[in-house]
Amino acid sequence: MRQELSKALAYFLSRQQGVYLEGFGILIPVKERKEHTFPADLSFAIQKIESLSVCFEKCLELTGYHRDKFPGLVENGELASRIYPRLPFLFQLKHSERILGRFLKALILSIRNEVIVDGVSLQLEDLGSLYSLHNRQGQTIHDWFAGSDVFLVAKFKEVLKAEQPRVLELPLLESAWEILDAAYGERVSQSEIQITKELFRLGYSQSDLDLPKDLEYPTFSVAAYRMPTESKEVTRLLFCTDGLRHSGINGQTNTTSSEITVQAELPGEINLKQDLPNWPIDVICLGWLLLQSSKTKSLQPQMVLSTDTVIGSPKANPMRSILTVPLKGISLPQRTSDGFFYYINVTGITDDEAKLAEMRSPSHLSDLLVARNYDQVTRPDRRSLLSLTKDKINDKNSYKLKLRLEDQDVNLNTAH
């Protein structure tokens, strides 16, 4: 039934019809028109694609406002009519279409409860992953649902129109900074980093590092750029290494060379000559440690490293971990005379965010960070993504409520 529900939802969404999941929310088809880039040997292609995706809007009960806003909205009865003839014949012998409608209500209720209690549901994985962030105040699932922010990270995508791709030659870069020079202009700073010295400053000893002979004194360069912002209340800086792609090989076959970027956001205007922060260099050093701990000696997106190094100023829930993500806007491999490399963005994350990545997966954490625009920029003073969401393992009320919900599901299924 769950599989046929996913297929039915995809069918109606492809017809550009919204679907109401009773007591939970509305799946809304959304048209997107974007430029996409694709690697092609020593060239790259740019193509404009119009596609149909889906987003989610929480909705406990439908009103006239919703029906006016989403004309042709598919409700439970139409879902049951679509699914019923596609279910096994033995099911049809035992149950009517009306009973199927009651089963669908119970299934949707179980998905809603799962995402509210566990923070995630993959029951409609063909469409995407459902997540929730909330404060879990109150004693009932309705209280939790009311205080939740539920969103869908969509997997469903149907291409409606694609223009002829334009093929361009991939430029041969002299350094990792050449693209950034063109994008952001003059460099705010440029310096050489002796990585061992920096790591000693952070409290790592020679025995902690256990570096091979050819990497005892690796050196590479770092440049910083000022990035444009919409507000004068913040200053955003982009730090980028050059030469790191050579120091990560360590005698092994290099699968994917990389240069590290760190985007730092600071409150207010700062004097870039006098007040340039040092903690982004710390993040780069942690990225280098993650690189060396990798079996392939390469950085890939969605890698996590937890350390004792505090990023920025200490606070109640400090940032002592990093997560790797693709650098937004420059995700293709870049070409140099000595091979290809990727820009890998390293982002600081809090202790509980790192714990979530360990409990679930780095991709789970990455989805949440993207939803809050926390994935690209490091702000050491920001609130944790999970500051209002209690860990379900440590939350006794969550465990008790889940047991009650499981009993409720059993009673619903027995009644049907």
Tens-place pLDDT, residues 294-349: 887 789 999 999 999 999 988 778 899 999 999 999 989 999 988 899 999 999 99
pLDDT, mean of residues 39-61: 93
Q: How many CB atoms lie within 10 A of CB 153?
A: 19
Section 175-199 average pLDDT: 93
φ, ψ dihedrals at 192, nearest 5°: -100, 140
Determine the pLDDT at residue 30: 96
Q: How far is CA 377 from the centre of its chain?
A: 13
Helices 2-14 and 76-83: angle between axes, nearest 10 degrees? 110
Query: Residue 379's closest CA among 298, 265, 289?
Result: 265
Dist. CA 8–CA 20, nearest whole Å: 12
Computed over every residue of the chain, the mean pLDDT equals: 87
Cβ neighbours for 201, distance < 8 A, ≥ 6 positions apart: none
Q: How far apart are CA 269 and CA 57, in angstroms?
A: 37
Report residue 69 as tokens. 């806003």
Q: What is the spatial distance between Cα 5 and Cα 106, in angstroms, rounded to a whole number? A: 12
15 and 82 in contact (C-beta within 8 Å)? no
Angle, vertex CA 277, rays to CA 276 and CA 283, nearest 5: 135
The structure's pTM equals 0.84
Residue 389: band (very low, low, confident or very high) from pLDDT cuts 50, 70, 90: low
Of the chain, the percentage scoring pLDDT greater than 70 comes to: 87
**What is the Cβ-side half-sphere exposure of residue 318, based on CA atoms within 13 angstroms?**
11
Give the position of tokens 């600081």.
Answer: 348
Choose between 395 and 229: higher pLDDT: 229
Query: Residues 329, 332, 338, 339: what is their CA dihedral angle, to the nearest 10 degrees?
Result: 170
SS3 351: helix
Alpha helices in 86-205 (DSSP H): 89-94, 97-118, 141-146, 178-184, 195-201
The pLDDT tens digits for 345-376 are: 999 999 999 999 999 999 999 999 998 899 99
The DSSP call for residue 16 is T
> For the range 274-278, what are the long-range contacts, defined as Cβ-Cβ under 8 Å and sequence gap of 24 or more?
276/188, 276/189, 276/224, 276/237, 277/237, 277/312
Structure-block tokens of residue 90: 């033995």
- Evaluate if residue 411 carries a pLDDT over 60: no
Query: Confidence band (pLDDT; 50, 70, 90) for 388?
Result: low
Pairing relation of β-strands 234-242 and 219-227?
Answer: antiparallel
